[in-house]
């Protein structure tokens, strides 16, 4: 009952109070608004020919109004992916891209984003806002649902959870099938998916770079390959790869670990800290032991933020929102650009504390105020200059800002000085005159220079040491391109990350799928060439073998379990089909973490049922179990399948409860081979 109530509340919230319990099915599911047709002459992606709403009568149509620089819009993409998978026959999703930034309105840039994020539904470039105005949208993101008769029934702004879509769409389908099963057209829609394609380079949309002079290494977030590449700067040889390249959320050895669009990195000795954006966690990679471990976040996207002043003593129990970059200060604290909550956080490795450090969480551009009262807009890049000064690229306000921890003050140092999210452009000059466009990266030079990845202007800019104005250093700007050489020739395409080492400024040139190296003394740009690029080739067959019912990622919300305080047991049962068994030739394991008191364990899986001892204090807590299960047919141990998933369990611990066991069962479904 509790789960049903929770889903109903989510539905009511998501639909803005439209789906009141007393309303009839006709009022809930039958629209009255006759939507306008898509205008002629606009560009479409993922379909051969333009679509019409009249031609989609019989389908439930979801229009997703978005813009690709908006983090909240990016949060909606995986939710709609779940909708498309569950309601593949009944529902058609159409992305209506109504661009905020000029750069976002260019069809080729939009096409890159569709490929980067693996969007598998039609997308229309609404850069003149014609569709936006026709449907009365007024915020990103906004969702419109059109019933199978062709009438608009819901328009709602904000992020909507999958549970709300699931409940509402299930009810709508049951309603129309109850009237006449022929109303819903279950024939598949023909698509012409763009796909990621082969960029002809070893990297795919690299987001951030980290150059370390002390160890002479370059770390590259090969974001759309879901891995970190480690390179020797002297030989330019790939010396290690962190992550299997399969998308997912799995800790463990470098060859088995999985990431989902990793971005910023920070190094402390042999520990590399990683902002794993789409998994909503902070990971560490032990470069000596070649092991990946999650430090903060539970793998579930948070729907709220930590209030300023809150200190989380169990970071693994916190649901984060799109951490985009990380940076150490001189006190050993890890700063986090928490793009999804419009704040900066601090994680203290020594004390294992996590807390907000800058921003009240309201998305805005408010400066010249205290750290607690500042208002940020999708911070995405960090640079610590010492003496308590942390620079950050605040992408949605198109500014570079300074958080001064010694003086408790946030100021702007480049970009608009107005309290606005819509003052952007490509203008050099003094502070108060210059403009940036969705800058994602910031870095410092040896003499106090501040370098800027002015992403949507496809330029690298600089604030010279001791000056207050911003000027273009490299890049011709405009629509972006690809050209090495001298400053007046060089072209970038949406560069996202910067890192300085030994006279070279390294650039993650994201849409060109390469790393560029700027020799600051010589004034030249070259593409970084790997000595052994064959080391970066992905074994697609190996990745294809990763199958079964794991999909790209599976986080199972296992509900609320009531147990008594003290000793308890988590029992996981794996239901394998006949003739299948746990593969004895490779180690299957479960990584379990739980809170209050904090505990963790790694348990080997050799049988179809595993018992894991736990211990709980008396309060609400959680258990998270990451499972990596290798299995095979009897007598065919060489053909190994893998099922990877995670359980997230909410546990109510009270002396009123007698139960001491949490039992869950996983049905393992092999791929069709």
User: Hey, which bits of 137-286 come out as E strands?
Assistant: 142-146, 152-157, 209-212, 217-222, 227-232, 237-242, 252-253, 262-268, 271-276, 281-286
Task: Identify whether the C-beta of residue 254 lies closer than 8 Å to the C-beta of residue 243.
Answer: yes
Angstrom distance (rounded) from CA 608 to CA 578: 12
Query: For residue 537, is the peptide bond before it cis, meaning its omega torsion is within 30 degrees of 0?
Result: no
What tens digit of pLDDT does each residue of 514-528 get? Answer: 999 999 999 999 999
pLDDT of residue 19: 40
Helix (H, G, I), strand (E, B) or coil at 103: helix
pLDDT at 513 over 90: yes
Q: Tell which residue, 408, 333, 401, has the closest CA to residue 371.
A: 408
Give the model's confidence band at 353: pLDDT under 50 very low, under 70 low, under 90 confident, else very high: very high
pLDDT at 624 over 90: no
426-450 as b/e: b if 16+ CB within 10 A: beeeebeebbbbbbbbbbbbeeebb
Angstrom distance (rounded) from CA 630 to CA 541: 17
pLDDT at 411 over 80: yes
Angstrom distance (rounded) from CA 69 to CA 367: 22
When mean pLDDT is compared across 169-183, 280-294, 596-610, the lowest value belongs to 596-610
End-to-end CA distance of the chain: 40
pLDDT at 380 over 50: yes
Angstrom distance (rounded) from CA 306 to CA 356: 7
What tens digit of pLDDT does each residue of 110-143 get? Answer: 999 999 998 999 999 999 999 999 999 999 999 9
Neighbours of 39 (CB within 10 A): 13
- Per-residue pLDDT averaged across 261-266, rounded? 98
What tens digit of pLDDT does each residue of 137-193 get? Answer: 999 999 999 999 999 999 999 999 998 999 999 999 999 999 999 999 999 898 888
Concatenated DSSP letters for 491-524? B-SSEEEEEEETTEEEEEEGGGTEEEEEETTTTE
When mean pLDDT is compared across 191-195, 364-368, 431-435, 648-652, the lowest value belongs to 191-195
pLDDT of residue 11: 37
- Per-residue pLDDT averaged across 416-422, rounded? 95
Give the model's confidence band at 545: pLDDT under 50 very low, under 70 low, under 90 confident, else very high: very low
Give the model's confidence band at 226: pLDDT under 50 very low, under 70 low, under 90 confident, else very high: very high
When mean pLDDT is compared across 262-266, 420-424, 553-557, the lowest value belongs to 553-557
- 258 DSSP assignment: B
- Per-residue pLDDT averaged across 351-376, rounded? 97
Neighbours of 4 (CB within 10 A): 9
Neighbours of 302 (CB within 10 A): 17
What tens digit of pLDDT does each residue of 382-401 get? Answer: 999 999 999 999 999 999 99
pLDDT of residue 349: 96
The residues near 539 (Cβ < 8 Å, ≥ 6 apart) are none
- Per-residue pLDDT averaged across 22-51, rounded? 92
Concatenated DSSP letters for 267-302? EETTEEEEEETTTTEEEEEETTTTEEEEEE--SS--
Rounded mean pLDDT of the chain? 90
Give the model's confidence band at 552: pLDDT under 50 very low, under 70 low, under 90 confident, else very high: very low
Here the contacts of 533-537 (C-beta below 8 Å, separation 24 or greater) are: 533/202, 533/238, 535/238, 535/241, 536/202, 536/203, 536/222, 536/229, 536/238, 536/241, 537/202
Query: Containing H/E element for 439?
Result: none
Taking the model in full, what pTM does it have?
0.81
pLDDT > 90 fraction of the chain, expressed in percent and rounded: 74
pLDDT > 70 fraction of the chain, expressed in percent and rounded: 92
- Per-residue pLDDT averaged across 228-236, rounded? 96
pLDDT of residue 488: 82
What tens digit of pLDDT does each residue of 10-31 get? Answer: 333 334 333 434 578 898 999 9
pLDDT of residue 22: 58
When mean pLDDT is compared across 263-277, 330-344, 631-645, the lowest value belongs to 631-645
What tens digit of pLDDT does each residue of 295-313 get? Answer: 999 999 998 888 888 999 9
pLDDT at 568 over 60: yes
Q: How far is CA 119 from the centre of its chain?
A: 14
pLDDT of residue 330: 97
Angstrom distance (rounded) from CA 592 to CA 258: 17
pLDDT of residue 57: 97
As a residue count, the chain comes to 673
Instruction: Give the CB-side neighbour count of residue 535, counting CA atoms within 13 A.
Output: 15
pLDDT at 372 over 90: yes
pLDDT of residue 636: 75
pLDDT of residue 371: 98
Q: How far is CA 32 from the centre of its chain?
A: 36
pLDDT at 548 over 50: no
What tens digit of pLDDT does each residue of 569-602 get? Answer: 999 999 999 888 998 877 788 888 876 666 778 8
Angstrom distance (rounded) from CA 63 to CA 28: 18
């Amino acid at each position: 009952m509790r789960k049903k109530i929770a889903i109903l509340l989510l539905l009511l919230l998501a639909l803005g109070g439209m789906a009141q319990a007393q309303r009839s099915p006709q009022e809930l599911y039958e629209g009255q608004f006759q939507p306008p047709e898509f205008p002629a002459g606009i560009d479409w992606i993922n379909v051969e020919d333009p679509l019409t709403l009249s031609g989609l009568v019989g389908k439930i149509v979801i229009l997703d109004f978005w813009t690709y620089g908006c983090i909240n819009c990016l949060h909606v993409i995986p939710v709609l992916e779940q909708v498309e998978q569950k309601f593949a026959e009944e529902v058609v999703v159409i992305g209506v891209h109504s661009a905020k930034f000029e750069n976002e309105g260019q069809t080729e840039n939009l096409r890159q984003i569709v490929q980067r994020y693996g969007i598998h539904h039609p997308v229309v470039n609404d850069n003149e806002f014609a569709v936006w105005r026709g449907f009365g949208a007024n915020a990103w993101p906004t969702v419109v649902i059109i019933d199978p008769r062709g009438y608009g029934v819901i328009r709602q702004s904000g992020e909507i959870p999958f549970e709300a879509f699931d409940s509402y769409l299930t009810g709508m389908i049951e309603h129309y099938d109850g009237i006449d099963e022929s109303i819903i057209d279950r024939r598949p829609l023909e698509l012409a998916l763009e796909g990621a394609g082969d960029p002809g380079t070893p990297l795919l949309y690299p987001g951030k770079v980290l150059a370390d002079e002390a160890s002479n290494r370059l770390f590259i977030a090969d974001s759309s390959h879901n891995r970190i590449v480690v390179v020797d700067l002297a030989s330019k040889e790939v010396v290690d790869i962190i992550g299997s390249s399969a998308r997912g959320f799995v800790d463990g050895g470098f060859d088995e670990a999985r990431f989902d669009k990793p971005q910023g990195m920070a190094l402390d000795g042999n520990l590399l800290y990683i902002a794993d954006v789409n998994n909503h966690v902070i990971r560490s990679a032990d470069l000596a032991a070649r092991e990946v471990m999650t430090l903060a976040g539970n793998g579930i996207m948070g729907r709220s933020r930590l209030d300023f002043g809150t200190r989380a003593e169990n970071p693994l129990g916190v649901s984060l929102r799109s951490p985009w970059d990380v940076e150490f200060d001189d006190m050993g604290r890890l700063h986090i650009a928490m793009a999804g909550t419009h704040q900066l956080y601090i994680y203290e490795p020594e004390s294992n504390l996590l807390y907000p450090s800058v921003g009240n969480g309201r998305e805005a551009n408010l400066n010249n105020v205290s750290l607690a009262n500042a208002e940020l807009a999708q911070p995405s890049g960090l640079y610590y200059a010492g003496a308590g000064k942390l620079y950050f690229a605040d992408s949605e306000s198109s500014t570079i800002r300074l958080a001064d921890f010694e003086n408790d003050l946030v100021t702007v140092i480049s970009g608009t000085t107005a309290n606005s999210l819509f003052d952007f452009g490509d203008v050099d000059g003094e502070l108060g005159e210059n403009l940036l466009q969705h800058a994602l990266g910031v870095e410092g030079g040896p003499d106090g220079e501040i370098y800027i990845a002015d992403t949507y202007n496809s330029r690298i800019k600089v604030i010279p040491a001791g000056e207050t104005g911003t000027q273009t250093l490299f890049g011709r700007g405009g629509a972006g391109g690809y050209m090495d050489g001298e400053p007046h020739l060089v072209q970038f395409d949406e560069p996202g990350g910067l890192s300085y080492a030994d006279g070279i400024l390294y650039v993650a040139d994201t849409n060109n799928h390469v790393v560029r190296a700027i020799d600051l003394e010589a004034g030249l740009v070259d593409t970084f060439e790997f000595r052994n690029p064959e080391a970066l080739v992905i074994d697609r067959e190996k990745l294809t073998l990763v199958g079964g019912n794991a999909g790209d990622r599976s986080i199972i919300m296992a509900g609320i379990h009531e147990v008594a305080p003290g000793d308890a047991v988590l029992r996981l049962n794996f239901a394998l089909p006949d003739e299948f068994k746990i593969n004895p030739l490779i180690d299957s394991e479960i990584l379990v973490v739980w809170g209050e008191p904090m505990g963790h364990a790694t348990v080997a899986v050799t049988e179809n049922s595993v018992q894991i001892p736990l211990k709980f204090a008396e309060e609400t807590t959680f258990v998270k179990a990451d499972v990596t299960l290798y299995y095979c047919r009897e007598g065919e141990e060489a053909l190994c399948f893998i099922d990877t998933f995670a359980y997230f369990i909410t546990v109510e611990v009270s002396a009123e409860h007698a139960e001491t066991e949490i039992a869950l069962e996983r049905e393992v479904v092999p791929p069709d081979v």
